[in-house]
């Protein structure tokens, strides 16, 4: 008996509820569900509005959506070329080990190469050894000399307010 092949397709606006569900499932797996504030309107606006901020590829088996990859453009000043940043890659647990994650990454690699992008970047939680092993097997390199940083919430707002501080207006 042969394995049913995975079908990849660009997400459509009607996929918004499913995309949000996948995001929540991924966040739950990553023990970060408490950080998800996105709602259906956010997904519709940011992915399918007049100026989409990211793109999504859906993975299906026999017409059932079983995973997705959400990515967006980024830019390398060192190379002076754009790249792709993989924000989320998720395959439902019952469908893991069937090559779906690999198919999604192969698809994104092809988009990057065909689009003239210089690289494909993403992040992975340090404790997520199954995913890290999978990425290493594909040839991905960990960026050990780099630490990912983030400003969000009150810290982001406080820094932004400094743009209007009198000492900054010289």
pLDDT band (50, 70, 90) for residue 166: low
Cα→Cα distances 59→29, 39, 113, Å: 19, 22, 20
Domain that holds residue 111: 7-168
Instruction: Tell me which of 71, 85, 90, 135 is the catalytic residue.
Output: 135
For residue 1, the model assigns a pLDDT of 45
1, part of any domain: no
Over pLDDT 90: what percentage of the chain? 85
Say how far apart CA 168 and CA 54 lie, in whole Å: 33
54, part of any domain: yes
DSSP state of 163: G
Q: Is 135 a catalytic residue?
A: yes
82, part of any domain: yes
Say how far apart CA 53 and CA 67 lie, in whole Å: 20
Count of structural domains within the chain: 1
In three-state secondary structure terms, 85 is strand
- pTM, to two decimals: 0.88
């Amino acid at each position: 008996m042969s394995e049913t092949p995975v079908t990849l397709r660009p997400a459509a606006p009607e996929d918004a509820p499913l995309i949000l569900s996948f995001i929540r499932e991924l966040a739950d797996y990553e023990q970060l569900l408490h950080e998800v504030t996105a709602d259906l309107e956010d997904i519709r606006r940011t992915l399918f509005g007049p100026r989409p901020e990211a793109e999504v590829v859906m993975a299906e088996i026999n017409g059932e959506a079983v995973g997705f990859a959400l990515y967006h453009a980024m830019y390398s000043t060192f190379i002076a070329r754009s790249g792709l940043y993989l924000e989320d890659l998720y395959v439902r647990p019952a469908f893991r080990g069937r090559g779906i994650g690999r198919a999604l990454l192969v698809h994104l690699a092809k988009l990057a190469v065909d689009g003239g992008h210089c690289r494909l970047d993403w992040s992975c939680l340090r404790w997520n050894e199954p995913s890290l092993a999978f990425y290493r097997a594909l040839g991905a390199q960990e960026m050990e000399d780099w630490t990912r940083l983030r400003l969000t919430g009150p810290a982001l707002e406080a820094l932004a307010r400094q743009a209007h501080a009198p000492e900054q207006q010289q």
